[in-house]
Structure 1
Amino acid sequence: MIKAVFFDFYNTLIRFDPPREELQVRACKEFGIDVDRKAITRGYWVADDFMSRENAGLPVFRRPKEDEQAFWAEYEHAILKAAGVEVPKELALRIFTRLRQLDRKLVLYEDVLPTVNLLKEKGIILGLISNLSRGLDGYCNELGLTGLIDFALTSSEIGVEKPHPPIFLAALSRAKVDASEALHVGDQYYADVIGAKGVGINPLLLDRDGFWEQVEDCPRIKSLQEIVNHL
């Protein structure tokens, strides 16, 4: 019986508004590059997987400035390459830097509050597990999650990133449940699925865009509202 559900944060509960695909298209256009928005969605899927694997080694936010810049150049290059556009790494970094300057805000996906409220009604303990480089309290206040989420853990607080066990074990300790009684929901196979399975937590892969069809070793959902079918 599932007694606790843990969530990843970015691209699971929250997204950028305007969407990051739109911001990417806009930034590229300023450099004379036309990219297809749907192709950029796939590009982000490739680049996010690259990021989760890199973070498992040496987290990006802990790298020297020069190495961090090199990572973001690789990240942007991966997005565009997967979208069918080849650019030099130097230009990729300029595009990424410009993208970060564009106005945007963080918003919840539409399926978050209905799902969270339903799980709370069922008495499920809810937690956040994120590879964020800062605490989540401020975000939870701004997004209306305070009072709905029982606790939030970040890699900056625990000292290691997903998929490493300590951050998942800390969540189990906070929830006071056994691994078999917990479900972890996230959009990254390497960080979320492998990490959860590594400590015996039941993984649930959020695949909003249908890019993880090759995954067969854990359930996939396209909406958070499907979580209730896996309790």
Structure 2
Amino acid sequence: MEFNAIFLDFYGTLVHEDDDIIPIICEKVKSTAAQECALKDIGAFWWNEFSIMFKNSCGESFRTQRTLGIESLANTIRKFESNCDAEEIIQLQLEHWTKPKLYSDTKPFLQAFEGIPVYILSNIDSSYIQAAIKYHDIHVNDILTSEDVRSYKPRPELFLEALKRYRLNTDEVIHIGDSLISDVGGAQNVGIQAIWLNRLNKSNTRRN
């Protein structure tokens, strides 16, 4: 089937996620914690705090990923009685967002779509993804983020706004991304066909 446009996720799809950065931040919390704790416990607590905030962030209650990251990390620091400053140590993650490692096949992959409009649909804050696009000299037709629509994938708002903004019907576009929930599930829920780009050989479940 031919498509008139391609929707693409960015982090985890075209560039590496921050999986190598999170343990470094957790180690900073662990090394200054007043109680005995394991890295996995710190990471799990932080992820749970972030996930709760993330799911409740929409519309008037929307907060950027930067804000969610700092607030959830601050809660984690308090939980483990660390004296770290959340805004200071999260800079490692924010710096990664602006200069993530590019997958070696990304540019050939994009070049294969020459003549077909390609639009990035990302949950990461606009300023960070724009910086990353510029850093790697990636050329796409447009970038639309959750910050623009005040809603995160897999909610429908980002996909629906993309269809409206780029004047596309659901059967004219395909979405490609690395998350079964945010990308595949989110796109399919509004009637867009989706491809799961499973770079990390994840199990075929809706938990990622």
Normalised by the size of structure 1, how large is the TM-score?
Answer: 0.62
Distance 1:48 1:207 in 2: 23
Match of residue 89, structure 1, among 79, 90, 115 = 79
Aligned to 1:196: 187
Distance 1:46 1:132 in 2: 18
What are the superposed Cα offsets for residues 18-61 of structure 1, whole Å, 9 maximum, x if unpaired?
9325634753674487758xxx7x99998886675344584443
1:155–1:90 CA distance, 2 compared to 1 (3 A)? same
Alpha-carbon offset, residue 94 of structure 1: 3.8
Aligned to 2:122: 130
Match of residue 113, structure 1, among 95, 107, 117 = 107
Alpha-carbon offset, residue 137 of structure 1: 3.5
Q: Give 3-state SS (helix, strand or coil) of 2:126's partner.
A: coil
Distance 1:126 1:91 in 2: 46
1:61–1:28 CA distance, 2 compared to 1 (3 A)? same
Normalised by the size of structure 2, how large is the TM-score?
Answer: 0.68
In the alignment, structure 1 residue 100 sits paired with structure 2 residue 90: yes
In the alignment, structure 1 residue 61 sits paired with structure 2 residue 64: yes
Distance 2:21 2:151 in 1: 27
1:89–1:189 CA distance, 2 compared to 1 (3 A)? farther
Aligned to 2:132: 139
Alpha-carbon offset, residue 174 of structure 1: 3.8
Higher percent of residues as strand: 1
Alpha-carbon offset, residue 129 of structure 1: 0.9
* Alpha carbons 2:5, 2:117 under 8 Å: kept: yes
Residue identity in the other structure for 2:90? R
* Alpha carbons 1:151, 1:174 under 8 Å: kept: no
* Alpha carbons 1:127, 1:152 under 8 Å: kept: yes
Q: How many residues align?
A: 196
Contiguous gaps of at least 5 residues in structure 2: none
Quote the sequence identity (%).
25
Distance 2:153 2:6 in 1: 16
Distance 1:189 1:52 in 2: 17
* Alpha carbons 1:23, 1:99 under 8 Å: kept: no
Q: Give 3-state SS (helix, strand or coil) of 2:55's partner.
A: helix
Contiguous gaps of at least 5 residues in structure 1: 78-86, 216-231
